[in-house]
Structure 1
Amino acid sequence: MDSVADDSVENGSQVGESEDPKTDREAAKYRRQLRDTEAERDRLLTQVEGYRRAEVERLAGSRLIDGSDVWAGGLQLTDVLADDGSVDPALVRQAVAALAQSRPHWCRQVAAPASAVTSAGKPDASGDQRAATWSDVFTRARSGAVEG
């Protein structure tokens, strides 16, 4: 039962038994406006929640392979919101760090820089070799030398 009906029951009259049909129409108009406003509010809250979730996933994606894994890890949106309702990046970082401890396989692996990897795909452990230049590559190609 809505609040208008509650008021009329308390006053001893029934809804629809008003002496003035204009009052009934006006009350019905305000109830419709209230329902429309509540529906709009709910739609906007859902939209804002989607934006917040996307922001959390974006921030988590800097460390996780799939940023949406934060939800699978048990995180609730309210856990990472600041007092003003915005997403707090520091709280997201803390949550992702905790998740990384329990599920390290969900995290991005940092690859060795390209300059540290040889053509064989293994890290260059020698350290005493100088880096090859394009000139060196063309010289070896002209001479027919093959690296082995």
Structure 2
Amino acid sequence: MKSGDLRLRRAEKSDANEIFALAREFGITFRPEREAFDAALPRLLEDEDAFLTVATVDGVIRGYLLGFVHLTLFANGPVAYVEEAIIEHGFRRHGIGRRLLEEFEAWARSRGAGYVSIATRRAAEFFHALGYEVSGTYYRKLLK
């Protein structure tokens, strides 16, 4: 992949099929269902506290990042959280994830976020290389 082929842009409704295919690759605990995806995508695109950006290579979506900024009490203002970040398997280690995360960080900073966090058991080396540090243990409880 040549570096000039990579472009980032805000996701659009017409990207639904390509984003859905990547979301299905991302899903481990949940298997994304098209009906729920189609209901959520327009709402996310309209939400000014949501960041949904795609990375294209030669015009084809090869990755996306979905994150949010939300207000907190403990951090004296807003913080940012990466909810989903996925790069198509054959396009990893080409700088796409780095570019998406840097774009998200800039967006979060412009919205006054004090920090960015992400919960993951994967890609520890990647996040450490970008200045992220382990901050806590992640707990969850499935409600369905």
TM-score higher than 0.5: no
Question: Which one has more relative contact order, counting CA pairs under 8 Å at least 6 apart?
Answer: 2
- Please give the TM-score of this superposition, normalised by the length of structure 1: 0.24
The structure richer in strand per residue is 2
Larger Rg: 1
- Please give the TM-score of this superposition, normalised by the length of structure 2: 0.24
